[in-house]
Structure 1
């Protein structure tokens, strides 16, 4: 662990109304001065400072989350209360149960737009460090894990709301890996988290055989465990994985010649058995995808493993004709819904991949080619668009991405 940072007072975000925010760098509203009138000059004003801290806490906890952060700039006392452990541990009582979505682009600055799904409003927002769309990103319970496995070999565990984060060194790969997948799971009751990195590399003498290593980080011991080694025969792990109920699920791709080249499957590994190799996983170990997919995203939604996949055309399997959502029940997939055609058309020309993440009761789907954000509510079984984001393309091939997370004030 290299560092632990807290910078609420420097957090940079705002709604989109003031022109000063149009450049994409969030700022607080300018300080407002309350001008008193001459009415009731005979009344003796009573200062709010005489109230005890617990009353101030009740006042602040009744505010929306965005207002709480602006209130932290009002006075030193409110800033200390909001930053206190006592206050942040109570945030579950007043924060929105809806997940929020952060949208960013391939910019040279760590800025983007944050969508409050409860208030249905976008805010300019800035992360405390630079994030590129090629990074692996995995959210869980208000924290987000960012991994740059190519250049800096750094990993960030961050609360985007409080901007508090810690930095970890990424463990070295046992060989030259081609693909890496990140999974992240937080146990709030124990103030612990688990990180998994899945790396895959092709066997030099067999195109169908892929060597796989699983690296697990134990936050209690603050160390990376020895990697678990294994292999897959006829299936290639990619860059998609998720932890659900302490089981690691990895999306795999069929590599056999003369097979449909968009054929996907799922393999699993129990993280309680991190000392044993999982050997060579063959067909009988693979949970087949519910249909021919062009791409897939895995996520933990309401404690269930959810697959969001692009459905390929019959005559052109590499082209998306729709998007579906499935939930895994044992080894069988249950279809929850398929995106209505009117929403598929709203994406314009879909790319062969898309960003998608979920949490709480919401699933977000965003095309890499634009800023349109579609949301599916797992409880009401309804699709709807978010409010229009004011982020615009600066060049035709610009890529957009994003992730959702639960808004929380505390780091753990």
Structure 2
């Protein structure tokens, strides 16, 4: 009726008016709706961990951060009686919540007690977890005194204010796997954290016993969802000679089923030393090592492997032939497991100045050979500086993230489409010139394991 009147008279009919009705910020005891469609649900959210910098009315219908005001079109001649949502059975509630994006699910848990119980129930996390996005999210933080940062949803291409349940510093070792993230501070703390950033559940573990003052340490983490367990590896290296040629190495492995650290595996490396980069892929531990022999090529990198299923107590002295050479002269390297393959993201050094980056490349390990996947276009390289170790990188699913330590710019590479692109602009600002930014990616999951 209204549409036909508008087409004929170019104005609303008598008695029709538009009313701006504010939405209350406090959660009501019950939620009412008039038409059982997803666009008619109004969320009342008051949670500090999930917030948005923008207000965009056009986002209504996505289930993400509805505006505080909504336009209500009403006709005085008709009155609608609200129907309480509690009359719906629980399985209908679950189906409604499963249609929401992940970023809105925990907001919906603040609407009423029923939704809160459903969202945090084991049945919902296991049965309805298949609707979650397969794309990894990225958490960016800085050297702040609070555990706050920004979370990037790569599916919706949007940033959110986010807070971890504990303080994290950019000097910590961080290793993600299958929705869980392992944090280790090997300098000032004796504990490490295993955390699901989405549900904010976490547990603490004691760091493995140290056999001495380690100069370098590396953290690797892998989750086996089929067996509901995870494996942690901590690699520590200590200088064994005055000429830096001989290094002692120890590998500490933690199995969550046994809830204990296994006896450390000891070894010695001659001419090579482990650094602070390692990764677990298909139950193989990969450790990035550096050449300590005087040579013309500086910052020469290599890779050693250790089978975590190996029952031997020691691997002895690692020889030259056991080291897998880097694909080229690298200034730095980052290891990660992406699509079941070991991926190396490294800064490519200049021939005349090996410590200066001329580009950033991505390689996949095939046997003992590296296959180059892509090199970052030159127009993107300029935003990462020229020093030897200037970026953080992590990957999962089909995405690889590369972030400059000196800013909030986040570059993404899609392994499936072989394309480079910038993420949406992050709202985090630089407070002082030497401020350092870092981050890590993880798969969003509701369940802990």
| C-alpha contact 2:390 2:406 (8 A) present in aligned 1 | no
| Unaligned residue ranges in structure 1 (runs of 5+) | 1-8, 19-27
SS in 2 for 1:342: helix
Which residue pairs with 1:128 in the alignment? 165
Q: In the TM superposition, what are the counterparts of 1:293-372 in structure 2 within 5 Å? A: 293-348=330-385, 352-372=389-409
The structure 1 residue matched to 2:288, chosen from 245, 248, 251, is 251
Mapped partners of 2:144, 2:388: distance in 1: 20
CA distance change for structure 1 residues 258 and 347 in 2, over 3 Å: closer, same or farther? closer
SS in 1 for 2:257: coil
Deviating more after overlay: 171-180 vs 203-212: 203-212
CA distance change for structure 1 residues 359 and 295 in 2, over 3 Å: closer, same or farther? same
Alpha-carbon shift at residue 46 of structure 1 (Å): 2.6
In the superposition, the TM-score normalised over structure 2's length comes to 0.84
Q: In the TM superposition, what are the counterparts of 1:12-411 in structure 2 within 5 Å? A: 12-17=49-54, 44-205=81-242, 207-348=244-385, 352-411=389-448
Mapped partners of 1:289, 1:408: distance in 2: 34
Which residue pairs with 1:21 in the alignment? none
| C-alpha contact 2:235 2:249 (8 A) present in aligned 1 | yes
Q: Deviations over 1:292-346 (max 9, x none)?
A: 0000000000000000000001111000000000000000000001001111123
In the superposition, the TM-score normalised over structure 1's length comes to 0.92
SS in 2 for 1:69: helix
Mapped partners of 1:30, 1:154: distance in 2: 42
Alpha-carbon shift at residue 90 of structure 1 (Å): 3.0
CA distance change for structure 1 residues 233 and 349 in 2, over 3 Å: closer, same or farther? closer
Give the structure, 1 or 2, with the largest relative contact order (CA under 8 Å, sep 6 or more): 1
SS in 2 for 1:112: strand
Mapped partners of 1:91, 1:132: distance in 2: 34
Mapped partners of 1:88, 1:312: distance in 2: 46
Total equivalences in the alignment: 395
CA distance change for structure 1 residues 194 and 32 in 2, over 3 Å: closer, same or farther? farther
Alpha-carbon shift at residue 347 of structure 1 (Å): 3.4
| C-alpha contact 2:384 2:391 (8 A) present in aligned 1 | no
Which residue pairs with 1:4 in the alignment? none
Bigger radius of gyration among the two: 2
Alpha-carbon shift at residue 129 of structure 1 (Å): 0.2
| C-alpha contact 1:183 1:243 (8 A) present in aligned 2 | yes
| Unaligned residue ranges in structure 2 (runs of 5+) | 1-45, 56-64
Root-mean-square deviation (CA), in Å?
2.0
